[in-house]
Amino acid sequence: MKKGIFMANDTHANILLNLLIREYGCLPDEYRIVGFDDSPIASEAIVPITTIEQQIDKIAYEAMNLLVSQMNERKKENLRLKQKSFIIE
């Protein structure tokens, strides 16, 4: 079974990958590095990085709709916005 190292974003995942390759010459077979933002760097890395897509446009649109709705209704309730994420390998 593979072990995953989850990084906050693809840039940090790529930095970790470069450090591992510089130090050990490769990414050990039992590990995968996973980034979180599906930036172009994920597919352009020395070894492609698994990444989780964020639908930024959709998240921003929904967040603004929630904010405007709360402002118009003068509500101060906490709301959560759930989005589907996709793993890209």
Instruction: Write a three-state SS string for the chain.
Output: CCEEEECCCHHHHHHHHHHHHHHHCCCCCCEEEEEECCCCHHHHCCCCCEEEECCHHHHHHHHHHHHHHHHHHCCCCCCCCCCCCEEEC
Range of the domain at 74: 3-88
The pLDDT value recorded for residue 47 is: 86
Q: What is the mean pLDDT of residues 81-88?
A: 69
Domain count, the chain: 1
The pLDDT value recorded for residue 86 is: 67
pLDDT tens-digit series, residues 15-73 = 999 999 999 998 888 888 999 888 999 989 988 888 988 888 888 898 898 888 888 88
Q: Please state the pTM of the whole predicted model.
A: 0.68
Find the CATH number of the domain harbouring 68: 3.40.50.2300
